[in-house]
Structure 1
Amino acid sequence: MVTVIKLTSGDILTFRAGALVCPAHKHLIRGRGLSAQIFDRGGEALEAACAGQLECAVGEARLTRAYGLPVTYLIHTVTPQWSSGDQWGARALAQLGQCYESVLDLAASKGIRTVLFPALGAGTNRFPHSIASHRALEVLVPRGQDFEQLTVCLHTPAALAEWRRVERQFYS
């Protein structure tokens, strides 16, 4: 199977896929940024679905239905905080990679063939796009053959340009 890893920009909440990845709080409650937007759309039904889930540690993933969104499922994953590359930077990079691995493992186990990702960690958790993109593609490219399409939707054209630069330089 030839898999497409698509990099695009736009309003991620308007895209269709089997699952949308939601940057999550460990208790799967409404967070900031994209998480807040997803919870606003999902309303009480999403809150109730999340309340029945186990706590989610950094790098793990949980699955719920996607209430009020044009996708079937939400895959929630807790991303690490970027600490400016200090002595904890290597740990944060490993945890960010584990987020992508956990999402893909969960999607594959549930038969989800198309997954829509934001730039995990690059929003409120402050990973630079140059670093977040490299870590994401390092996981997505070799795992891509297990899926029909993996899409990364960036919030701005500048972020998209950076992800494409990294993709060309390291993964083409």
Structure 2
Amino acid sequence: MAKIIAIQGDITKVEADAIVNAANTSLMGGGGVDGAIHRAGGPAILDDCRKIVARQGGCPTGEAVITTAGRLPAKYVIHTVGPVWNGGHKKEAEKLASCYRNSLQLAVDNGVKTIAFPNISTGIYHFPKAQAAKIAVKTIRDFLAQEDSIEQVILVCFDGENLQYAQEALQEGQ
């Protein structure tokens, strides 16, 4: 079994120990994958998010928090806040890499063996898709080189364009 694979599909239907949500800083649900995960998982996810907000405020860009997955086939949802693309001069690449690193660390801390990621920041946050795919694959590979408890990472691409970039990024490093 490949450690990292890319598929096209709906992340809310992927069977993994944890799925990652491209959340916003408020953790209150939104559009895109965030809204889809909250709708599919039901109110338990939002209830957990409210508890986190009450405890620590929202979730800063590049950080990650973990909640129940509610009605989703996963055990957990790891919410991470990707950067909004502002031309690449505001540490967007470093912040995106932090999303993947911090999500993977939370996964390890919670005994997760399989984790599925969406294309973080490539939707309404306008991060260039090819660059985002390269950052995702490099960061995941670097993390897995140091930590072997995660058995599989699934890059769940919303569309064919993101899938193509993910597959290219995976082939480049082999």
TM-score of the superposition, structure 2-length normalised?
A: 0.90
Q: Distance in 1 between matches of 2:49 and 2:86?
A: 28
Q: CA deviation at 1:138?
A: 1.2
Q: CA deviation at 1:3?
A: 5.6
Alignment of 1:35-114 (within 5 A): 35-53=34-52, 54=56, 55-85=58-88, 87-88=89-90, 91-114=91-114
Q: Distance in 2 between matches of 1:164 and 1:42?
A: 28
Q: CA deviation at 1:42?
A: 2.5
Alignment of 1:1-172 (within 5 A): 4-53=3-52, 54=56, 55-85=58-88, 87-88=89-90, 91-144=91-144, 145-169=148-172, 171-172=173-174
Give deviations 1:86-113, integer Å, cap 9, x for gaps. Answer: x32xx01100000001001111011111
Give deviations 1:59-101, integer Å, cap 9, x for gaps. Answer: 111110001211110000011101133x32xx01100000001
Give deviations 1:108-147, integer Å, cap 9, x for gaps. Answer: 0111111000011112211111110111111111222331
3-state SS in 2 of match to 1:146? coil
8 A Cα contact 1:3 1:147, kept in partner: no
Gaps of 5+ in 2: none
Gaps of 5+ in 1: none
3-state SS in 2 of match to 1:116? strand
Q: Distance in 2 between matches of 1:142 and 1:94?
A: 14
3-state SS in 1 of match to 2:99? helix
CA RMSD of aligned residues (A): 1.4
- Deviating beyond 6 angstroms after TM superposition, the runs of 4 or more aligned structure 1 residues are none
Q: Distance in 2 between matches of 1:157 and 1:23?
A: 19
3-state SS in 2 of match to 1:71? coil
TM-score of the superposition, structure 1-length normalised?
A: 0.91
- Identity among equivalent positions (%) equals 30
Q: CA deviation at 1:156?
A: 1.2
AA partner of residue 15 (structure 2): R
AA partner of residue 70 (structure 2): Y
Q: Distance in 2 between matches of 1:83 and 1:146?
A: 35
